[in-house]
């Protein structure tokens, strides 16, 4: 099968999963399994190989990050049960006020708590956002969700050892130290010299 057809079936699979979740309101887990089955069958793997590949991929994923996510959920639950999140919420609201709290949370997710695994940080910090949401305004849930998403993903891409920085260095086959040096020169260039690199730090 040509690369064009594979890309086409991949796009159809992704769109189908989104439609199943958003429009049909099917559980995301079931929608992802259905999308994976469609992609495997459309790519010509056959039903047996498709199911085997899905099971193997799920097992590999759970072995690598499943435990991290599970312990992240446990840590978040413990913080909530001990009252730590409520105290932290009260402190943030007292120091920054309701309007600035989402910005403070987003900036802290980028600078103080950068993540290698964004999903783990999201699971750990989601209870804090949920407890703050009703107290920051009418659109508090949307504001806190946006703050978490933007802060976590920005930290993931821009802060070492974020996966974005490492991925770009690997794809360009540039040593990480060299990339960071040129990135710093690009970000903070001397006043008398031109910017030396297209890589932004």
Q: Domain segments of the chain: what residues?
A: 3-64, 69-157, 160-201
CA distance 176 to 160: 10
CA distance 184 to 199: 9
User: Residue 16 pLDDT > 90, yes or no?
Assistant: yes
Structure tokens of 112? 């103080």
pLDDT tens per residue across span 119-150: 777 777 888 888 888 888 888 888 898 888 88
The structure's pTM equals: 0.51
How many degrees, rounded to 5, is the angle at CA 160 between CA 117 and CA 178? 140
Token pair 């008398």 in the structure block, residue: 192
CA distance 41 to 49: 9
Task: Please tell me the predicted confidence (pLDDT) of residue 197.
Answer: 35
Of 37, 38, 33, 39, the closest CA to residue 21 belongs to: 33
């Amino acid at each position: 099968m040509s690369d064009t057809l594979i890309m086409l079936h991949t796009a159809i699979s992704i769109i189908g999963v989104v439609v199943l979740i958003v429009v049909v309101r099917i559980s995301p887990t079931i929608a992802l399994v259905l999308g994976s089955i469609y992609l495997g069958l459309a790519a010509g793997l056959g039903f047996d190989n498709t199911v085997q590949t899905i099971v193997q991929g799920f097992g590999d994923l759970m072995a690598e990050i499943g435990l991290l996510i599970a312990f992240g959920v446990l840590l978040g639950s413990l913080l909530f049960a001990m009252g730590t999140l409520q105290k932290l919420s009260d402190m943030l609201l007292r120091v920054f006020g309701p309007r600035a709290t989402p910005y403070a949370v987003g900036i802290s997710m980028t600078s103080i708590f950068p993540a290698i695994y964004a999903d783990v940080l999201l699971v750990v910090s989601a209870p804090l956002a949920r407890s703050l949401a009703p107290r920051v305004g009418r659109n508090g849930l949307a504001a806190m969700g946006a703050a978490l998403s933007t802060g976590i993903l920005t930290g993931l891409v821009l802060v070492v050892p974020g996966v974005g920085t490492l991925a770009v260095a690997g794809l360009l086959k540039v040593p990480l130290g060299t990339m960071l040096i040129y990135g710093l020169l690009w970000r903070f260039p001397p006043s008398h010299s031109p910017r030396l690199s297209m890589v932004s730090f």
